[in-house]
């Protein structure tokens, strides 16, 4: 359904199993302010304090998973690399998180209130990204949202740029862009079916009710 909308260029496959085998923290997440800041920005753009059911593919070693667990009733976090999952389980010992080995297109049955696509869209092949988008669209709740965060600089192993990933998300039928943050390094955006803004859903609606009384 979405393949004709994707701009894909050849890229070598990334051996993530070897990557995690050579380092417990391949992207130096623990020590890099870029990573920690990105996580905080991602959480800040979410439109609700809490979500019911959430899905995070490519959870890696669980740094973002830990933050999501604090705001989700139930969270499914997957990764195709067993070593990454083991590290994530050690980091996030929360009863509301279910870890499983799987790819991005293994979207669990919905309805899902939140889907998180963080730093993974450019590593997916055209077919994999198309399958993920189709599944995410099918399983997202009518008032659900997908938050995406991607590096904006060149990645030698990528199939596409971070901006191209977000253009593919913006092209999903029935979805709109609810929020966007961009700087030279990272693009963080919120997508999903049309829905009231945070203010419209909260205090503006309350003011309207008071005026009508």
Could you tell me the two tokens for 108? Answer: 């669990």
115-144 tens-digit pLDDT: 999 999 999 999 999 999 999 999 999 999
96: Cβ contacts below 8 Å, ≥ 6 apart: 69, 72, 73, 74, 75
Q: pTM (2 decimals)?
A: 0.88
Task: Answer for the pair 127, 3: CB distance below 8 angstroms, yes or no.
Answer: yes
27-77 tens-digit pLDDT: 778 889 999 999 999 999 999 999 999 999 999 999 999 999 999 999 999
The b/e string for 45-64 (b: 16+ C-beta within 10 A; e otherwise) is: bbbeeebebbbbbbbbbbbb
Structural domains of the chain, ranges and CATH numbers in brackets: 3-212 (3.40.50.150)
Could you tell me the two tokens for 98? Answer: 């279910």
- Cα–Cα distance for residue pair 149/129, rounded to 1 Å: 15
Q: Can you tell me which residue has the tokens 């450019």?
A: 122
Task: Answer for the pair 131, 105: CB distance below 8 angstroms, yes or no.
Answer: yes
Handedness of CA 53, 185, 162, 178 (dihedral sign): positive
74-110 tens-digit pLDDT: 999 999 999 999 999 999 999 999 999 999 999 999 9
Average pLDDT over residues 145-166: 96
């Amino acid at each position: 359904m979405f393949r004709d909308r994707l701009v894909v260029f050849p890229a070598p496959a990334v051996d993530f199993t070897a990557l995690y085998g050579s380092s417990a923290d391949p992207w130096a997440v623990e020590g890099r302010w870029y990573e920690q800041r990105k996580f905080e920005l991602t959480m800040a753009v979410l439109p609700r304090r809490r979500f019911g059911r959430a899905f995070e593919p490519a959870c890696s070693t669980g740094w973002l998973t830990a933050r999501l667990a604090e705001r989700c009733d139930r969270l499914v976090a997957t990764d195709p690399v067993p070593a990454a999952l083991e590290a994530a389980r050690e980091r996030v010992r929360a009863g509301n998180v279910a870890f499983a080995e799987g790819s991005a297109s293994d979207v669990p049955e919905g309805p899902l209130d939140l889907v998180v696509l963080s730093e993974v869209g450019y590593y997916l092949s055209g077919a994999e990204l198309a399958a993920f988008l189709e599944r995410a669209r099918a399983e997202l709740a009518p008032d659900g949202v997908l938050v995406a965060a991607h590096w904006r600089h060149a990645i030698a192993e990528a199939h596409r740029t971070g901006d191209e990933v977000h253009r593919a998300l913006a092209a999903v039928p029935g979805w709109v862009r609810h929020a966007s943050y961009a700087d030279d390094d990272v693009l963080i955006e919120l997508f999903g079916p049309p829905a009231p803004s945070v203010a419209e859903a909260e205090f503006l609606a309350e003011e309207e009710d008071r005026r009508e009384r």
